């Protein structure tokens, strides 16, 4: 590209120099090409170039043969201006007329990066050619600087030229004293609107060029009530079409409704609303559907809905500054069964806790045993307070363990033993309360067994249907992806779905209504809609990170002012506050927040009770058998002794 630009500029320069060899006498009544002194052109063009940081300059003189018609003096002035800009300032500069520009450059002008187009005069010939070129060139692409004579009005010169709202076209005329220049910024809000102007800057020989301090859309911040046609998709809760009594869209609600209301106030415009049936996707014949089609066919000026940025859409429309970013992933219905928590009843106590409890039981049993022994050997206690029966250490251990299980203990007449009993019971109550609380917490936490967690697992499972919103970027993503797994999913699952959801709410409803149904949506949409659907949905692993924005036609003059206002909303924190308020207000659960304990959660306890019952029965049976054998032996011994 750089080589092309250099060759292009060099060719034009050689062309101008070669023409200087065939100079002829100038016409006596010819008007000059340069209508200002050379120093004015040099200083003013340099000031504008530096202000906008243009990469190159094209000087338009208007005549097809400037040498033959204007003479040697004008040619020397043009070449001197070019030498100053390209030689002294190292700015690539060429001289041409609009006919040469159309023939040599044409619609490849967009290969020239940030050019400055200078119209050196306001003669009729340059005006006619400028009007012709303005019909096919994108006026907002270059920066324009037009030199006018004192008696020329800019609205007359530009009467047949449409200067879009985002076009930078400056006209300069001498001030009332004739010693300086007043530079004005000219634009139109729409084709039907009159030309508007404001002071852009000024120039004088002493101070040079003085440009504006504010940016373009800080100066052009008012659309003066211009009507903007807004199209949206009914996708509650982020974008809701609100209709009037006649059934026509009257405004937009939800998050995007709040955003465009702020845009309307910031830009001083009015909105009229339309509804599209879908976001829009590209058909095999290259045409578009939904809101994208309305933008392409110039039926709408702004699509105010959650549009995903994609490469195929960028070929047809332009996106605004991103509104927010989120992730795309598939969601399925939460499985009905949960994982059986076999360690739930032991998990509240760690290994060290069990050791501490066991050590406490042993220490307490030894303490009670020691008190009993001392009470008999040392005459510290009265005889009537000494224990009558003597329990073994194993029996005391059993009593202490029973106290931790909520059982009573044999009362003791000794006060020290009673204090130990009191501490044991208090410790047991605390342990039981802590255990119960921990057990309830463990049971209340649901642990679901997901059949799969990835898109590959969804494909291998083979029992689930998969869908995305129809006529959306989601569908185009699967249709054009290079990922092997997603390509197979599109061919085997998605392409077979004849009735795709119309929006995210419809898709999540189908996840709840159908037994095995997977649906891809945005994370924030799933969070917002979770409380509005009839079941709980579970996410799979994220597929991609995506950016959400609004959209305008590819050559919309209002994209810049819309982007500026969105950035102002973001920098001031209003956009983030709207996101939080909208999401939080929609995240209220429609159902009760109580979490029930299912029968599956109690399976370990039930098995423990059943096994305890069986062990108890077995022990009872063994005791019965042993007791019967003892009775039989006792009877046999008595008979033997009697005989």
**pLDDT per residue as tens digits for the range 547-577:** 999 999 999 999 999 999 999 999 999 998 8
Instruction: Tell how far CA 603 is from the center of its chain.
Output: 44
| Minimum mean pLDDT range among 131-135, 175-179, 220-224, 631-635 | 631-635
**pLDDT per residue as tens digits for the range 243-276:** 998 989 999 998 999 999 999 999 999 999 999 9
Determine the average pLDDT of the residues in 44-65: 89
Query: CA-CA distance, 143 to 183, in Å (whole number)?
Result: 14
Instruction: Tell how far CA 23 is from the center of its chain.
Output: 64
pLDDT exceeds 80 at position 346: no
Model pLDDT, residue 581: 80
pLDDT category at 319 given cuts 50, 70, 90 is very high
**pLDDT per residue as tens digits for the range 595-643:** 555 666 666 667 777 888 888 888 888 888 888 888 887 777 666 665 5
Query: CA-CA distance, 303 to 167, in Å (whole number)?
Result: 22
Model pLDDT, residue 10: 45
Block residue for tokens 């490469």? 311
Query: CA-CA distance, 69 to 97, in Å (whole number)?
Result: 13
**pLDDT per residue as tens digits for the range 156-171:** 999 999 999 999 999 9
**DSSP secondary structure of 524-586:** HHHHHHGGGSSS-EEE----EEEEEEEEEETT-TTHHHHHHHHHHHHHTTHHHHHHHHHHHHH
Burial grade of 304 (CB within 10 A; 0-12, 13-18, 19 or more): buried
**Cβ neighbours of residue 561 closer than 8 Å, sequence gap 6 or more:** 165, 166, 217, 220, 221, 223, 267
Contact between 49 and 91 under an 8 Å Cβ cutoff? The reply is: yes
Query: CA-CA distance, 263 to 70, in Å (whole number)?
Result: 52
**pLDDT per residue as tens digits for the range 502-555:** 889 999 999 999 989 999 999 988 888 888 888 889 999 999 999 999 999 999
The rounded mean pLDDT for the chain is 83
| Minimum mean pLDDT range among 135-139, 480-484, 626-630 | 626-630
Model pLDDT, residue 403: 78
Domains of the chain: 38-219 (3.40.50.2300), 351-439 (1.10.287)
CA-closest candidate to residue 258, choices 304, 318, 302, 319: 304
Distance from first CA to last CA of the chain, Å, rounded? 129
Share of the chain above pLDDT 70, in %: 82
CA-closest candidate to residue 600, choices 311, 268, 338: 338
Model pLDDT, residue 207: 92
Query: CA-CA distance, 86 to 82, in Å (whole number)?
Result: 6
Determine the average pLDDT of the residues in 302-328: 92
Model pLDDT, residue 618: 87
Q: Which helix (H) or strand (E) holds 639?
A: helix 603-642
Model pLDDT, residue 371: 76
pLDDT exceeds 70 at position 415: no
pLDDT exceeds 60 at position 17: no
Structure tokens at 431: 């342990």
Burial grade of 144 (CB within 10 A; 0-12, 13-18, 19 or more): buried
Query: CA-CA distance, 22 to 446, in Å (whole number)?
Result: 93
């Amino acid at each position: 590209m750089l080589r092309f630009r250099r060759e292009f500029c060099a060719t034009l320069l050689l062309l101008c120099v070669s023409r200087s060899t065939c100079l002829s006498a100038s016409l006596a009544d010819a008007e000059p090409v340069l209508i200002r002194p050379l120093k004015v052109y040099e200083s003013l063009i340099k000031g504008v170039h530096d202000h906008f940081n243009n990469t190159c300059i094209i000087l338009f003189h208007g005549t097809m043969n400037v040498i033959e018609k204007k003479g040697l003096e004008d040619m020397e002035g043009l070449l001197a201006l070019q030498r100053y800009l390209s030689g002294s300032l190292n700015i690539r500069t060429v001289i041409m007329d609009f006919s040469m520009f159309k023939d040599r450059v044409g619609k490849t002008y967009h290969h020239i990066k940030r050019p400055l187009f200078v119209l050196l005069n306001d003669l009729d010939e340059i005006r006619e050619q400028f009007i012709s070129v303005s019909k096919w060139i994108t006026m907002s692409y270059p920066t324009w600087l037009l030199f006018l004579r004192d008696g020329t009005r800019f609205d007359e010169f530009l009467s047949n030229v449409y200067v879009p709202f985002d076009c930078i076209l400056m006209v300069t005329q001498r001030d009332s004293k004739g010693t300086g220049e007043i530079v004005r910024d000219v634009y139109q809000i729409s084709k039907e609107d009159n030309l508007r102007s404001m002071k852009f800057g000024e120039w004088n020989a002493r101070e040079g060029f003085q440009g504006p301090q504010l940016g373009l859309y800080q100066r052009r911040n008012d659309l003066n009530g211009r009507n903007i046609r807004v199209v949206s998709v009914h996708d509650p809760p982020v974008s809701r079409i609100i209709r009037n009594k006649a059934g026509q869209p009257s405004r937009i609600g939800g998050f995007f409704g709040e955003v465009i209301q702020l845009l309307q106030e910031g830009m001083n415009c009015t909105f009229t609303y339309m509804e599209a049936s879908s976001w829009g996707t590209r058909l095999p014949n290259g045409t578009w559907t939904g809101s994208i089609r309305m933008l392409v066919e110039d039926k709408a000026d702004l699509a105010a809905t959650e549009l995903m940025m994609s490469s195929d859409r960028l070929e047809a429309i332009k996106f605004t500054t991103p509104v927010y970013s989120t992730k795309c992933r598939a969601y399925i219905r939460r499985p009905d069964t949960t994982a059986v928590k076999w360690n739930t009843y032991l998990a509240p106590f760690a290994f060290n806790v069990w050791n501490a409890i066991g050590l406490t039981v042993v220490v307490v049993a030894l303490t009670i045993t020691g008190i009993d022994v001392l009470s008999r050997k040392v005459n510290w206690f009265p005889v009537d307070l000494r224990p009558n029966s003597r329990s073994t250490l194993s029996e005391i251990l059993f009593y202490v363990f029973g106290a931790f299980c909520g059982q009573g203990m044999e009362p003791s007449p000794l006060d020290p033993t009673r204090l130990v009993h009191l501490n044991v019971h208090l410790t047991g109550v605390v342990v039981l309360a802590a255990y119960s609380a921990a057990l309830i917490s463990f049971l209340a936490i649901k642990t679901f067994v997901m059949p799969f967690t990835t898109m590959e697992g969804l494909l291998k499972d083979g029992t689930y249907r998969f869908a995305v919103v129809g006529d959306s970027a989601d569908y185009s993503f699967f249709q054009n992806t290079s990922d092997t797994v997603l390509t197979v999913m599109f061919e085997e699952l998605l392409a077979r779905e004849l009735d795709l959801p119309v929006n995210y709410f419809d898709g999540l409803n189908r996840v709840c209504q159908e037994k095995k149904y997977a649906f891809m949506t945005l994370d924030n949409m799933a969070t917002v809609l979770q409380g509005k659907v009839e079941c709980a949905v579970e996410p799979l692993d994220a597929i991609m990170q995506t950016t959400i924005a609004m959209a305008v036609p590819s050559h919309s003059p209002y994209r810049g002012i819309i982007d500026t206002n969105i950035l102002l909303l973001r920098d001031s924190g209003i956009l983030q506050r709207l996101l939080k308020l909208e999401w939080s207000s929609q995240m209220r659960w429609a159902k009760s927040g109580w979490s029930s304990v299912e029968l599956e959660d109690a399976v370990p306890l039930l098995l423990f009770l059943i096994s305890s019952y069986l062990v108890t029965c077995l022990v009872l049976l063994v005791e019965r058998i042993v007791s019967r054998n003892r009775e039989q032996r006792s009877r046999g011994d008595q008979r033997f002794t009697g005989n």
